[in-house]
Amino acid sequence: MESLNDNLQPHLNTEDEEPVAFLALTQRQRDWMMTMAYLHLEQRRPDPARVLLRLVYRAFPEDSEVQRCLALAELLAGSPGAAARAATRAFKQCEEHLRVPVGLVFAKALWEQGQQEAARDFLASLLNHERR
């Protein structure tokens, strides 16, 4: 799996990443905000979803579910750089069965940034790894 993680790093641009501030939320508040974010994503309203998800991410930065959802919301909202960063974090922490969906979000984010060759290479390495 080391090679897939290595493929993620060169494509990240952290210069425009927002500073992260601590936010205290209870688990119940997190769950409610995640439910609302899911509803917004299902309704194809990524902007309100990503606002909620960015807040939840600040309170739960190690939560891979939050990172996965944030990556998708950023991609759907037209922010492929932010989507690639969130997908990278999610990919490194997610369970094996979620690597392909997260990898697809990452590859799409690369593609939308004009890095088609990198997206193809990443997908090829991801799919080759899954076949083993």
Q: Do 83 and 111 contact (CB within 8 A), yes or no?
A: no
Nearest alpha carbon to residue 129 among 22, 4, 13, 12: 4
* Residue-level pLDDT at 16: 52
Distance between CA atoms of 85 and 121, rounded to whole angstroms?
A: 18
DSSP per-residue codes, 74-130: HHHTT-HHHHHHHHHHHHHHS-GGGHHHHHHHHHHHHHHTT-HHHHHHHHHHHHHHH
* Residue-level pLDDT at 130: 67
Q: What is the mean pLDDT of each run of 10 residues along the chain (132 residues)?
A: 47 49 81 96 96 94 93 96 94 86 94 95 86 66
Domain ranges for the chain, please list them. 2-131
- What pTM did the predictor assign? 0.78
Distance between CA atoms of 25 and 34, rounded to whole angstroms?
A: 12
Q: Do 70 and 59 contact (CB within 8 A), yes or no?
A: no
SS3 at position 13:
coil
Measured in degrees and rounded to the nearest 5, phi and psi for residue 18 equal -70, 145
Given 3.40.50.2300, 3.30.360.10, 3.40.190.10, 1.25.40.10, which CATH number is that of 2-131? 1.25.40.10
